[in-house]
Amino acid sequence: MQLAFLIYKYFPYGGLQRDCARIVQELQKRGHHCRVYCASWQGTRLAGVEVQLAPPSAGSNVRRNERFLKWVQAELAADPVDGVIGFNKMPGLDVYYAGDPCYLDKALRERNLLYRLGWRFRHFAAWERAVFDPAGATEILLVSAAEQRKFERLYRTPQARMHLLPPGVAPDRRRPADAVSRRAGARHRLGLTYDVYTLLFIGSGFITKGLDRAIRGVANLRAAQPDLRLRLYVAGQDAIGRFGLLVRRQQVQEQVIFLGGRDDIADLLLAADVLVHPARSEAAGIVLLEALVAGLPVVTTAACGYAHHIETAGAGLVLPEPFSQDALDAALAQMLDGAFRDKCRASGLAYAASEDLYSLHSAGATLIEQLIRRKRDRAND
């Protein structure tokens, strides 16, 4: 089949972007021709995949989105495909991969009436409704049962159009047989001695992932235990600006190290003592499961779609909503207990061996094949 994939921005360190790439590659292996339309592309192109870049566009996000969709529609009218798969919400999709949280739910909970009267809200709410409207035809691939419930409650989307996928942890994230030696090597490269309590934050989109909360947690832990040797490594592609300022204000310049986007995440997961992911909003949070399968204890929030795996596995601590900084501080202090971390590690690894945390991309590719073939067959009847 000829398949078109739509995503506004591709960069190698985003979870949504990695899912897009792996599903495209899986479909390409199955003999389908995949064409990716995007507004910007960073990093290496996918082998054998046609990438079409939209003309440069200035203005607000809303205006850029509208111009992008108009350009894609013109391109597809000139060179049609069998199916259109979107990784961002927009009208006209055959299949939508729901890697982002429900916009309407977040706007109703976190924004005031004035915001909801504005043009920005009207745009994003209308484009989300175009996907989830009960009278629509877009098939939806979901990564979180919690997000599915939000969409069903707010839009009354028929369950027959909602397809929940298993998680998709990459094989290289699983704890290797030589984990102890690799941990020692990774810590050596970071300049860490055995007695440094090492926290790891992974994510592009620092405010959404709660980096400010993690930085305050480090500052509060250091204030409570001045002799504690402590580091927080931040791996992710985002502007440091306001977070660097917060680090200076909290006087933790020596404790917080920004690593930028990284390709050695598997080794960082082995080097750290705890993953801290106090996200404000997260449809899934694959990094939680990457830590779990690597044997790294996790501190996260119930706002993450995959947090229930951490709780069920006993692989760490899940903070209830609404968020409390005191609760995060207490969790980071509790994780100082090496015996508790060992228990979390063992429980997480046992869960990783017994649950399907790995097949999202093959399952997603199979569903896309089935859904687009069904659409094509209906059109030919």
Residue pair 144/167 in contact (Cβ under 8 Å)? The answer is: no
Nearest to 150 by CA among 189, 195, 105, 107: 105
Nearest to 360 by CA among 148, 144, 188, 198: 144
Which residue, chain included where needed, has tokens 């203005």? 59
How far apart CA 258 and CA 233 sit, in angstroms, is 6
The pLDDT tens digits of the residues spanning 223-237 come to 999 999 999 999 999
Q: How much is the CA Rg of the chain, to the nearest whole Å?
A: 21
Which domains are seen in the chain, by residue range?
A: 2-166+359-380 (3.40.50.2000), 171-354 (3.40.50.2000)
Query: 61-78 and 119-132 helices cross at what angle (nearest 10)?
Result: 40
Q: What is the pLDDT of residue 170?
A: 92
Residue pair 15/284 in contact (Cβ under 8 Å)? The answer is: yes
Show the tokens assigned to 194: 């055995």
Q: How far is C-alpha 304 from the chain's CA centre?
A: 9
**CB-count exposure of residue 283 (10 Å: 0-12, 13-18, 19+):** buried
Q: What is the pLDDT of residue 6?
A: 98
Which residue, chain included where needed, has tokens 């850029």? 64
pTM of the model: 0.92
Residue pair 295/275 in contact (Cβ under 8 Å)? The answer is: no
How far apart CA 25 and CA 215 sit, in angstroms, is 37
Q: What is the pLDDT along the chain (381 residues), one digit of tens a residue?
A: 999 999 999 999 899 999 999 999 999 999 999 999 999 999 999 999 999 999 998 889 999 999 999 999 999 999 999 999 999 999 999 999 999 999 999 999 999 999 999 999 999 999 999 999 999 999 999 999 999 999 999 999 999 999 999 999 998 899 999 999 999 999 999 999 999 999 999 999 999 999 999 999 999 999 999 999 999 999 999 999 999 999 999 999 999 999 999 999 999 999 999 999 999 999 999 999 999 999 999 999 999 999 999 999 999 999 999 999 999 999 999 999 999 999 999 999 999 999 999 999 999 999 999 999 999 998 887
Q: How far apart are the first and last CA of the chain?
A: 18
CA distances from 171 to 29, 254, 290 (A): 18, 34, 9
CA distances from 273 to 195, 224, 297, 332 (A): 11, 19, 7, 11
How far apart CA 162 and CA 159 sit, in angstroms, is 5
Q: What is the largest CA-CA distance in the chain?
A: 74
Which residue, chain included where needed, has tokens 């990564």? 143
Q: What is the pLDDT of residue 245?
A: 98
